[in-house]
Structure 1
Amino acid sequence: MFETIENIDGALVYHGNMHKRIYFSQSDNVDLDNLLQKMKTLANEKQYEKILSKTTEEKAAILKSKGFEIEAKIPGLYNGTTDGYFLADYINKERHGYNDKIAKTIATVKSIAQAANKPDSDSYFHMPENMILRELASNEFHLLETLHNKAYKYHPNQIKDVTYFSKLKELNHQFYGLFQNGQLLVSAIIGINKEEGNMEIVDFVTHPDYRGQNLSYFLVQDIKEKMKSFACKTIYTMVRSTSYGLNITFSKHGFIFAGTLKNNCMVRDTLESMNVWYFKEPEQSRP
C-alpha cells in the first residue's frame, strides 16, 4: 500500500517508507506521553526521519515541551473556535533545513501567491461546457488508479491504488473528478472531519497532457461550495512550497497562508516542503 494508515491508542497515524515520516492526529482523551513514546519507537524501528502532528493549542503546548516545533497554525481549525497547529520533531536533524536556493524559491512562491489573494466575493468562473465535475463512486476507483499511473509513470512507488482509495473512503474521504468526453483529467480527494468541523483537500492529480491549464481551479471552486452541506467551517490543504500554480490558485480562492512544513514528503523524486493554506467559512452579516 502507498502508505500505512492505522489507529494507535486513539490517534490516526499515517506512516511509510516513501516519505520516511509519521503523521498523526489525536482526540482529546489520548494519553499523549504514552502515544509519543510509541511514535518515537515506531520512527526508530522504521528509520523514519520526521514526526508530524496536527493538534489543538492545548496539546501543542505539550508537544513543544517535548521538543516539537510549530510549523503552521490555522485559527479556529477545530469547529471554528479552537486553533489548530502542525508541529514537527526531526529524528534526522539534517532533514530540518534546506539550501539557500530552495529557501529563496519558497519565499518567492509565497510572496507571489499572497499577492494574488482575492476576497471571497470575486467572480465565479464557469467551467468550459465540454467538461463535467462530479463525485466518483467506489466502483470507479480504477479510474483514479489509472490517472495516478499516468501522472506517476516514472515513480511507481507513489501510485495510489484502489485498495488505498477504499481505505480512505472508510475514513470519510470523498473523491471528485473533472471529466472531458468521459476522460478523467483531474482528481481531488477530500477528507471530511465532522467532529472537528473541517475538511482537508488531500491531493490533486492532473493528467500529464493537461498540466499547466489550471483545471484544479474548478475543483477548488466546487469544494468551497460544499462546506455548508458538510457542516464544516474550515478547509485546509498542503501544497508543494515550490509550486507557483497551486499556491496561486488557493490564494486566488481566498485561502490564507498558515506556514510551511519543512521537507515533509516525497513528490516524484524530490523531498518537498509543503505550504499549508486554509479557508474560513465567511461569517454571515448580521441585520
Structure 2
Amino acid sequence: MFEKIETIEGALVYHGNMHNRIYFSEAKEVDLGILVPKMKELAKSKKYEKILSKAPERSMDVLTSNGFTVEAKIPGLYNGTIDGYFLADYVNEDRHIKDEKSLKTITSVKTIALAANKPQTDSHFEMAAELTIRKLTPNDFDQLEDLHKKAYKYHPNQIKDVAYFTHLAALNHEFYGLFEKDQLLVSTILAVHKEEANMEIVDFITHPDYRGQNLSYFLVQHIKEKKVNSWCKTIYTMVRATSYGLNITFSKHGFVLAGTLTNNCMVRDTLESMNVWYYKGF
C-alpha cells in the first residue's frame, strides 16, 4: 500500500517509508498524553525522520512541550471558529536542514504566487467546451489508476492503485476528474471532514500530455463552487513549495498562504517542502 492509514488512540495516522514520516490528525476524543509517546515510539521503531501533526489550538501546549514547532496556521480551521495548526517534530534533525537553492526557489514562488492573489476567479479564464468535470465513482478507479501509472511512469513506487482508492473512499475521501470526452485528464482527491466543517484537497494528477495547460485551475474552481458555504467552511491544501503553477493557481482562487512544511514528503524522487494554502467562502 502507498501509505499505511490507521486509527491510533482515536487519531487518524498516516505513515510509511515513502515519505519517511508520520502525519496524524487529532480528533476530539484524543488523549495527547497517550498519543504523542506512541507517535514518538512508532517513529523510533520505523526510523521515521519527521512527525507532522494537524491539531486545534487547545493542543498547542502539549505538543510544543513535546518538541513540536508550528509550521503553518489556518484561522478557524475547525468549524470556522477554532484555529488549526500544523506542527512538526524532527526526529532526525538533518530532515530540518533547508537546501539554499531550494530556499531561493521557494521564496521566489511565494513572491510570484502572492502577487497573483485574487478574491474571485478570473472570469476571462473559461473552460473549453469539450471539457467536463464530475465526481468519480468506484467504476472510475481503474481509469484513475491508469492516470497514476502514466503520471508516475518512471516512479512506480508512487502509483496509487484501485485498492488504495477504495480504502480512501471508506475513509470519507471524494474523487473528482476533468475529462475530455471519456478520457480522464486531471484528477484530485478530497479528504472530507464534515465534523470539522473543513476539507483538504489531497493531490492533483495530470496526464503527462496535458501538463502546463493549468487544467487544475478548473477543478479548484469546481470544488469551491460545490463545497464552500454548504457544510464546508474551509478548504485547505498542501502544494509543492517549488511549484510555480499550483501555488499561483491557488492564489488566483483567493487562497491564503498559511505557512511552509519543511522537507515534508517525497514527490517523484525529491524530498519536497510544502506550502499550505486555505480558502474561506465567507
Amino acid aligned to 1:129: A
Q: Distance in 1 between matches of 2:134 and 2:79?
A: 27
Amino acid aligned to 2:51: I
Q: Which residue is 2:98 aligned to? A: 98
Q: 1:117-149 CA distances to partner (integer Å, 9 max, x unpaired)? A: 001265274310111111111121011100000
Aligned pair 1:158/2:158, yes or no?
A: yes
- SS at 1:231 equivalent: coil
Q: 1:159-206 CA distances to partner (integer Å, 9 max, x unpaired)? A: 001111111111111111111121110001111111000011000000
Alignment of 1:1-287 (within 5 A): 1-120=1-120, 122-123=122-123, 125-228=125-228, 230-282=230-282
Amino acid aligned to 1:131: L
Q: 1:105-127 CA distances to partner (integer Å, 9 max, x unpaired)? A: 11110111000000126527431
Amino acid aligned to 1:269: D
Deviation at 1:60, TM superposition (A): 1.9
Q: Percent identity?
A: 69
* Kept after mapping to 2: 8 A contact 1:69/1:88: yes
Q: 1:207–1:252: structure 2 CA closer, same or farther, 3 Å change rule?
A: same
- SS at 1:226 equivalent: helix
- SS at 2:214 equivalent: coil
Q: Distance in 2 between matches of 1:233 and 1:211?
A: 30
Deviation at 1:101, TM superposition (A): 1.1
* Kept after mapping to 1: 8 A contact 2:214/2:245: yes
Unaligned segments of structure 1, at least 5 residues: 283-287
* Kept after mapping to 1: 8 A contact 2:229/2:281: no
TM, length-normalised to structure 2: 0.98
- SS at 1:28 equivalent: coil
* Kept after mapping to 1: 8 A contact 2:255/2:277: yes
- SS at 1:80 equivalent: coil
* Kept after mapping to 1: 8 A contact 2:119/2:253: yes
Amino acid aligned to 1:78: Y
Q: What is the RMSD computed on CA atoms of the aligned residues?
A: 1.1
Q: 1:133–1:181: structure 2 CA closer, same or farther, 3 Å change rule?
A: same
- SS at 1:245 equivalent: helix
- SS at 1:40 equivalent: helix
Q: 1:64-112 CA distances to partner (integer Å, 9 max, x unpaired)? A: 1111000000000001000000000001100002121111111110111
- SS at 1:39 equivalent: helix
Q: Distance in 2 between matches of 1:88 and 1:202?
A: 19
Q: 1:230–1:124: structure 2 CA closer, same or farther, 3 Å change rule?
A: farther
Unaligned segments of structure 2, at least 5 residues: none
Q: Distance in 2 between matches of 1:121 and 1:8?
A: 40
Q: Distance in 1 between matches of 2:77 and 2:30?
A: 19
Amino acid aligned to 2:113: A
Q: Distance in 2 between matches of 1:101 and 1:242?
A: 10
Q: Distance in 2 between matches of 1:121 and 1:147?
A: 27
Aligned residues: 282
Q: 1:38-75 CA distances to partner (integer Å, 9 max, x unpaired)? A: 11111111110000000001102210111100000000
* Kept after mapping to 2: 8 A contact 1:52/1:89: yes
* Kept after mapping to 2: 8 A contact 1:116/1:251: yes
Q: Distance in 2 between matches of 1:131 and 1:111?
A: 31
Q: Distance in 2 between matches of 1:59 and 1:114?
A: 30
Amino acid aligned to 1:211: R
TM, length-normalised to structure 1: 0.96
* Kept after mapping to 1: 8 A contact 2:228/2:234: no
- SS at 2:196 equivalent: coil
Q: Distance in 2 between matches of 1:139 and 1:7?
A: 27
